[in-house]
Structure 1
């Protein structure tokens, strides 16, 4: 069964749809499919593949599927697997969106789960985890799937290689523990922005067939499969994504080549122009050099100034401090350059505004929290990263991207560009928004742009072909260190400079735009109290309540002896755990955490310290117990 780029389904709609929350065509198609499965009208169909262009709105699809399938009793719970930890909270927010909860009439909640023992759902309708989370505790997730009938959602499934092709490596280590969950699940929804892997291998679980010339391709007509396609052309026609303006910056670069085999000085090569009719042996070394020398600063400066102009223009319309002013995302070639780019940008910021720019790389503490702040708060307005934000980052305020990456894989570049193509509900009318991407003007990027123009219907001569180029030697998909090592090139970058800038805009061609009604724009949504956030707040509240009792009792000398080797706060927490049945706060559901807070409001933990008797971690001598007095003048730590 295939559903590709069809018109909006005629299936019944919820009666009370709020303004601005119309379903896109691919979302309506999925709703029709899962309703057919729930009604027993789809035969043995249990696998759904949704190939949705990056930025086209995949996040609502699991909500729609879970709402129908759990409501019909075909599935009991939903498990949503994402490739990155930073995406867990975004997936959780999709179920908590109040406008869609009202529109669909659903009351499902899922939690961003860690691998704590017990039920990962904590009594809710499902949970969100990562590939890494399943690989780290496969038995925990297998046990959950054996207890309940699950709808399994695998996000960005193209990251997972088929096991018969890659029995080793990190990606295959994720495929192996996820494959049993696919087999056990009642219904499977596989999501992706691309149906190809950069390394050419098959994707886990997807059906394949032999095409002309013996090439393997995904079998879109496989039995017992439903395939939903949502192309960039359709997304533009429905105003689900923004048109893209590219700023292609040319430049020159010079470097020292590899050391001669017989010894001697390294040859100086260049200057070579980045822009060329077709890739040659100088293309990659010139790009490698440009991203690490003066050219990078020139491109950064243009992206920085474009963002300042955009924010000033919108500020005049929207007001000071408003949301929707626009943000800048800088994608660096490696972590060392990311830190250098941040220093450059901070040097351009006015005094007192250094907090406007931030860094999010895997080696930096607090990187997930920085990503969340970039998504959800007015500041920072500039984020420098390598790979953490390239895929799945739902930050509609990103309006400008500085593409200072050497990666030229089409799926990679599509995902990066898509960070700026999301419609920002705070930024005014659709026609007043656009995505602006600054990039090196090299022939490899030009090929990618040519393909985008073909997809969007802006190429006047469809029989034209871009220049042929050799196969690209690309790194792994989920490595955060994406820089090509200097030894790999055997070169030493010397210098580069920025030259001319060419600006072009890709918009829907007349064949796409004519006669197509624009869907309504999404309405702004407030700060969502998701289950995992509610859990964190309740855990913090319990900690505050315990600390308050510690301070009060120590001040009055009523708590008894301090356990040897442990602070009073630690002992009180241990007593609370035992009083509540031995379950730690990290294992409690929201209801259990609320009950614990209520219990603390009625009871004093000093009366339950006897529960620690016999535990060597909290042992103390009878004399210490008898003679203990609160320390004079010492403040008990919270």
Structure 2
């Protein structure tokens, strides 16, 4: 496209296995297409706020800047005016676009824009008859309606997905499909005019050592519960085995297990595996037990709901000293105020080593140090499970060679999870399909429809684990032969990851804080030197003066303007520009009061 050899292509669909590196594709596209003059801006839309900073970081990564020879930057933006602020573009969320679609539509129409839609499977084709009744379905439909004009207005579109299907079976907005009856599984037309389709499957990623093989720790158990609520006379049900294969009892048994003793047993297995891994890696490096470092391995706990997540947090913290527990085990759910800061620390710092979440961290979280996952969730839809296990399959550049790493996922050994594992093994080539099926490709994966609803009127009583078995999804001999070649490390120098160029939004925040501190310092100095009347809120007035000098508020300044403002304050005094407030009724009364007090005090002295 950059060389003009694919003039007819306006849409790129990239179906990349979770953990396969699709977040680099927008950087490659921007580096090549903006340099060639095909586009002037990039707008990258992600499904949740926690992914915006990751998108900034991949543009700022010094290694990829050197490899691709680019110097473009994007910033994390909300719905404030001028979201790009003079940079190559911005990153926003579906929610932000849904709240202010016209603002973002104007931005796309101002420039020739490359629109990147990340995890496009979140956008169903609007269909009032299917899935619109639920709160989640209504929200997804609203996102689709807001995104549709942007898709139509963009010069080029790059659509990304790690699981190119929806659990509800609906078609995905903007994708080309073969004509089919409504009752048939929709299949993507990879030969549609104007489209280029990129497929990167888990099989390919394993062959190239781009992702790690998975070892599943399947924990079976027994559960007992009451049905029909707390009404008198209800009989006890169970104990029933999770892995018993009786479908009528699978859901209530799983629901009970995740809320009683079985959950504790599975957590202990995952916690113990993580502790042993970290101890071994410390010993290999000759590190004392108390020293922290990158690459020791981390644990991700996925809970069924926020109440259980808090319960699991307390359980994990009770297994270690209080000071260590506060540092090492953290909670990230949508109701926690510091959830995004916790996610960032879990990704970028040696501690915390254990993160408990519900759904915030299951999709798109780029934390290669995750080595163990405790899958304490009732959801059994294939896209969700694939995304969850992919949190542990990223190659960690801090953890040594590829051969020394592995992903371990502990999960309840119920028939639905076993079915998911079997299909993953079939696609990966590590098991023989039991029956013929249609060809599965990266763009048209097999869809399995499972209900994710928790059973109603269930009162969990008790459960416990009764057995653990391990199974490793290994590549076939052909994959092993392909993977015997020396791997291409995703990070040629580990320490370079510690010197990442700061993301633009973080740089902006730091510069705004420096501006505020400089303004306050001038106010304190001027009052202390009696060069201006005391009293009132002088920093507030000085901020108003600075706004008039600059012509806009601090929150609307670009990086270059923020740097220029700081440079101006280094050789200018805001007290010399107070005349800019004259005539402003908001400051007239306080100005008269201050002048009167100043004259009285100076006359008396």
Cα 1:297–1:386 change in 2 (3 A) is: same
- Rounded to whole Å, the distance in 1 between the matches of 2:298 and 2:340 is 18
Give the aligned partner of residue 60 of structure 1: 24
Give the aligned partner of residue 253 of structure 2: 286
- Rounded to whole Å, the distance in 2 between the matches of 1:137 and 1:114 is 9
Question: Which residue among 147, 153, 167 is the counterpart of 2:116?
Answer: 153
Counterpart contact for 2:214–2:406, Cα < 8 Å = yes
Cα 1:40–1:519 change in 2 (3 A) is: same
Question: Which residue among 534, 542, 560 is the counterpart of 1:591?
Answer: 560
Counterpart contact for 1:390–1:416, Cα < 8 Å = yes
- Rounded to whole Å, the distance in 2 between the matches of 1:139 and 1:496 is 52
Instruction: Return the offset for 1:515.
Output: 3.8
Counterpart contact for 2:426–2:433, Cα < 8 Å = no
Cα 1:281–1:214 change in 2 (3 A) is: closer
1:334 aligns with 2:298: no
Cα 1:211–1:509 change in 2 (3 A) is: farther
Give the aligned partner of residue 31 of structure 1: none
Instruction: Write out per-residue CA displacement over residues 32-87 of structure 1, whole angstroms, 9 at most, x where no aligned residue.
Output: xxxxx223322421111000000000011011111111111110111111001010
Instruction: Return the offset for 1:518.
Output: 4.5
Counterpart contact for 2:114–2:156, Cα < 8 Å = yes
Alignment of 1:223-622 (within 5 A): 223-259=193-229, 264-277=232-245, 279-318=246-285, 319=287, 320-354=291-325, 355-463=327-435, 471-474=449-452, 484=454, 489-516=456-483, 517-523=485-491, 524=494, 525-528=497-500, 529-560=502-533, 562-563=535-536, 567-581=537-551, 583-620=552-589
Counterpart contact for 1:54–1:193, Cα < 8 Å = yes
- Rounded to whole Å, the distance in 2 between the matches of 1:258 and 1:137 is 45
- Rounded to whole Å, the distance in 2 between the matches of 1:180 and 1:335 is 35
Structure 1 counterpart SS, 2:84: coil
Deviates more, 1:204-213 or 1:357-366: 204-213
Instruction: Return the offset for 1:341.
Output: 0.5
Counterpart contact for 2:259–2:308, Cα < 8 Å = yes
1:174 aligns with 2:143: yes
Cα 1:183–1:553 change in 2 (3 A) is: same
- Rounded to whole Å, the distance in 2 between the matches of 1:184 and 1:113 is 20
Counterpart contact for 2:167–2:449, Cα < 8 Å = no
1:46 aligns with 2:10: yes
Counterpart contact for 1:81–1:131, Cα < 8 Å = yes
Instruction: Return the offset for 1:573.
Output: 1.4
Counterpart contact for 1:332–1:384, Cα < 8 Å = yes
Structure 2 counterpart SS, 1:191: strand
Give the aligned partner of residue 479 of structure 1: none
- Rounded to whole Å, the distance in 1 between the matches of 2:575 and 2:107 is 38
- Rounded to whole Å, the distance in 1 between the matches of 2:22 and 2:575 is 51
Q: CA RMSD in A?
A: 2.1
Instruction: Return the offset for 1:246.
Output: 0.6
Cα 1:629–1:289 change in 2 (3 A) is: farther
- Rounded to whole Å, the distance in 1 between the matches of 2:169 and 2:36 is 39
Instruction: Return the offset for 1:547.
Output: 1.7
- Rounded to whole Å, the distance in 2 between the matches of 1:359 and 1:508 is 35
1:90 aligns with 2:54: yes
Instruction: Return the offset for 1:464.
Output: 8.2
Counterpart contact for 1:259–1:267, Cα < 8 Å = no
Instruction: Return the offset for 1:157.
Output: 0.1
Relative to the length of structure 1, the TM-score reads 0.86
Give the aligned partner of residue 192 of structure 2: 222
Deviates more, 1:529-538 or 1:390-399: 529-538
Counterpart contact for 1:259–1:265, Cα < 8 Å = no
Counterpart contact for 2:226–2:460, Cα < 8 Å = yes
- Rounded to whole Å, the distance in 2 between the matches of 1:492 and 1:238 is 48
Instruction: Return the offset for 1:605.
Output: 1.8
1:141 aligns with 2:119: no
Counterpart contact for 1:457–1:511, Cα < 8 Å = no
Instruction: Return the offset for 1:463.
Output: 3.2
Deviates more, 1:541-550 or 1:395-404: 541-550
Instruction: Return the offset for 1:321.
Output: 2.5
Give the aligned partner of residue 75 of structure 1: 39
Instruction: Write out per-residue CA displacement over residues 215-234 of structure 1, whole angstroms, 9 at most, x where no aligned residue.
Output: 32111221211111110000
Instruction: Write out per-residue CA displacement over residues 548-585 of structure 1, whole angstroms, 9 at most, x where no aligned residue.
Output: 1122223233332544xxx322222122111211x111
Instruction: Write out per-residue CA displacement over residues 8-34 of structure 1, whole angstroms, 9 at most, x where no aligned residue.
Output: xxxxxxxxxxxxxxxxxxxxxxxxxxx
Structure 2 counterpart SS, 1:216: coil
Unaligned residue ranges in structure 2 (runs of 5+): 438-446
Instruction: Return the offset for 1:450.
Output: 0.5
Relative to the length of structure 2, the TM-score reads 0.91
Instruction: Return the offset for 1:333.
Output: 0.5
Counterpart contact for 1:239–1:518, Cα < 8 Å = no
